[in-house]
Amino acid sequence: MANGSVYQLIRDGKPVLRKDGKAIWCVEYKATDGKRVTKSTFRTKREAESYLAEATVEKRKGVHVADRDSITIEKACENWLKDAAANGLERSTQDQYERHVRLYIKPRLGDKKLSQLTMADVSTFRDDVAAGSPKMSAKVFTSLRSIIALAQEKGFVATNVCAAIRRSRRSQGKRHAAPASKVVIPTQVEVGKLLKAAAEHYPGKYHAMLATAIFTGLRLSELRGLIWDNVDLDGAALKVLQRADEFGEIGSPKSKTSTRTIPLGPSLVTILRAWKLAQPLAERGRGLVFPNGVGNVEFASNIHDRFIQPVQVKAELAATDEEAPFSWHDFRHLYASVQIALGKTVVEVQKLLGHSTPSTTLNVYAHMFEAREEKRNAGADAEAALLGTSQNKSERKADSRKITEKSSVTRIKPR
């Protein structure tokens, strides 16, 4: 063959056989550097010919990598983790990547060379991890795909076998299925009790922090990283331009779309203005709105233990801290449910919450949008459009309350 040859492995005039009695087929060709390459791992002639044809195409494209020039997946993982550190990824992200590599990828695939990794290998790996945790399988698969993409960019492998493989069907089903477990989103009465208890027992920082969470829907990491320079009290708006990670380090928001401007209501402006005036000098050094006692980023665990659980006891919503019904993220869901009830579109809610795409918003809150549509009167909508009439205010408020209450029976995953 002009581009190489395919032949059966022969020694001393006799075919060399595998343990199962089948022949060993070989491929021989010249690599892009002109050196001869021999690969003797094929079970059938057709398999060997297919590899040679693929190698020939890759050579023409200038992307072929012979086994001898490739690296192991373990080495590719090391390169990937170094690249993540060099590019300044947050420590929490780097730690997550390191766990994916140490616990899942290296034990199962580490010794294999990238050039020898097949779609079947990756598919088996994906399903193996999914058997333990479909959610983790999706995350680890994404990491593996990124690892191979970097190796491909560096010239250690010709193609990314992950690119043509879907996530496990089990993880896809989990991703699109309706949330299974339950959570309670605070009702209007419960919100009132919480704010009152916070004002009485935790005046100042924690009261202002809770009010900001309820009336803006900010993530806890965004609240912990919020600075006064990004809060325009006169203009009644705040900008989300950074967040604090689990180690207390300030970094960029969760995604590009997490950078956003959120309008503030008059009550929240009043609360924040009062807190800004009362904030101790010792806490003002870094300009954080909700810092710890010496002005640094407050750890999430402290907020949880010292405030969000105890305040629910003070509000008589729980008998003990351990029985507190609400997590901090539930206030974000509350904010979303109110915006949906008020008639905001999917895109508008997405922008307010800082979700990466509208589909993310729908994956989390589709049932709330559906509940709102069920309450609408198509005839009344037509009259409003043609005659300029509008729904009665009391009816709108009633619908808003019903939608919020209906949304309170579904557990929603953090986004």
CA angle 395, 401, 402 (to 5 degrees): 90
CA–CA distance, 2 with 364 (Å, rounded to integer): 57
User: Domains, the chain, ranges and CATH?
Assistant: 5-64 (no CATH), 73-176 (1.10.150.130), 188-407 (1.10.443.10)
* pLDDT 10s digits, 175-234: 444 443 444 689 999 999 999 999 999 999 999 999 999 999 999 999 999 999 999 999
The region of weakest confidence among 58-67, 111-120, 344-353 is 58-67
pLDDT higher than threshold 50 for residue 86: yes
CA distance 373 to 58: 54
DSSP label of 133: -
CB atoms within 10 A of CB 30: 12
Q: 104: which DSSP letter? A: I
pTM over the 0.75 mark: no
Tens of pLDDT, residue by residue over 343-395, are: 999 999 999 999 989 988 888 888 888 888 877 766 666 666 667 655 544 44
Sign of CA dihedral 415, 225, 269, 200: positive
